[in-house]
Amino acid sequence: MKEIVVSYEKQRRDFLNKLISNVGEIVEEKHRIVCTIRQDLLEKKPSDFYILNLMGVRAYFGLVTDVINYYGLDKPVDYIFDGITFDKPIKLYASYCNIEFVNCTFINSAINVYTADMITLENNTYINCDPIFLSTKSIVDINQLNIINENLIDKCNADETSLGIDVITKQTNIINTDVDANCISIKAKNLYIYDTTAKACNVYLDAEKITIEQSLLAAQEKMVIVNPEYASLVKTDNGITSIMGNEQEHSKSFTITKKN
């Protein structure tokens, strides 16, 4: 019987394909592993939701650590949704990996995050989406949420303030973004807002450190800021209102300007 010899590289590639969720093309780079999602693979299982179970290599540490190290596959994993159309809500379960939604179109959709490490939303389009478009559904925090170059305004909804954000993270970055929302609720260890205009009926910010630069943040009905060390934060039409306590509540629109 002829002996079949399987090369190290083939064994390594086969092992990698077993570790990474089968939703797209997998490319290994020097310092990371990238899976670019394919639209047709998302449509394989008919359902009322897109159920995304996405795993990074480190999710398997403790089970096959020696094999991962043998093949030199201990690298960050990025799942990139580029130009994908989502026409129903998403249930996202992501362990030890980074998720990027770039140039996507969300129609009648929402992102419900159950577990995740880092999520990035960049340059997407939103049409008739759920009132709370992005939300966390678990007590496990997202390590980092990035909202970059976004226009979080529902293009075809009669109520332009329909979109909303309700998340718990360790770090939230909102950069070069316009938001017209029903509600903005962000609880984070660190919150960074730069070059952003955000308007909502209700705004709730709870963070140990809040940095807001070159941005406007306005609440039509109520804004609550929970931060133990912020002072001289709020600027209204009538002048400066200082934030001195752990929690402040306001019942009128106002703008947050750059912290001195």
Measure the CA–CA gap between 167 and 184, rounded to whole angstroms.
Answer: 9
Q: Which of 21-35, 96-110, 211-225 shows the lowest mean pLDDT across its residues?
A: 211-225
**Cα→Cα distances 45→23, 42, 127, 135, 190, Å:** 12, 7, 23, 24, 38
User: For 202, phi and psi rounded to 5 degrees?
Assistant: -135, 135
* pTM summary value: 0.83
Q: To 10 degrees, the CA torsion angle through 172, 178, 182, 185?
A: 10
Q: Where are the domains of the chain?
A: 8-212
Residue 16 three-state SS:
helix
Please check the confidence at residue 101 and state whether its pLDDT lies above 50.
Answer: yes
How high is the pLDDT of residue 254? 39
> What tokens were used for 218?
């306005």
> Can you give the pLDDT at residue 244?
30
Give 61-75 pLDDT, tens digit per residue.
Answer: 878 899 999 999 999
> What is the band of 6 on the pLDDT scale with cuts at 50, 70, 90?
low
CA 67 to CA 97: how far, in whole Å? 19
Distance, in Å, from the CA atom of 36 to the CA atom of 201, rounded to the nearest integer, reads 37
Give the gyration radius of the chain's Cα atoms: 21
Q: What are the tens digits of pLDDT across the range 130-174?
A: 878 888 876 566 899 999 999 887 665 555 556 788 888 999 999
Distances (CA, A) of 246 to 192, 239, 242: 19, 21, 12
